[in-house]
Amino acid sequence: MSPCVARQILSVINVIMGADGTDDGKKRIDQLARNSRYFRRRLKQLGFVVLGDDDSPVVPVMIYFLSKISCIIRSVVTKGVGLVGAGFPATSLSTGRVRFCVSASHTKQMLDKVLDVMDEIGDRVSVKYSKLPKSDEIIVY
């Protein structure tokens, strides 16, 4: 590890621990968890199959079909949204997915834009394989 990378890691740890005299680290961690939970819950409500822990900022959305992954990536990029696709050989033939990386600096408006884009493209490409029951439709941001 280079010295500049080590220094950057130490700086981040100091902010997270509050050693810089602020509570910025705690605020960022709390915001990241809030953003991750909100984004995942909304994707699930839209009918997407989402894997992983609710608090994780890496949000894998199952697409399953290799040919649909590239279609989704091309479609969302034209609408100003970035995501990463993973298919065979990185996954098995039938477990292809796209991944979003949520950040503490994302605003609710940014997340909602991505959700709107995915809602539209998910319908067009037919990759909404699930629906949450009505009892889970309350969203708190």
**Mean pLDDT, the chain, as a whole number?**
91
pLDDT of residue 132: 63
Cα angle value 16/22/28 (rounded, 5°):
45
Per residue in 18-28, pLDDT (tens digit) is: 998 889 999 99
39 contacts 119 by C-beta, under 8 angstroms: no
List the domains of the chain with CATH numbers.
Answer: 3-129 (3.90.1150.10)
Q: The pTM is what? A: 0.85
Contacts for 82-85 with beta carbons within 8 Å, 24 or more apart?
none
Per residue in 35-76, pLDDT (tens digit) is: 999 999 999 999 999 999 988 999 999 999 999 999 999 999
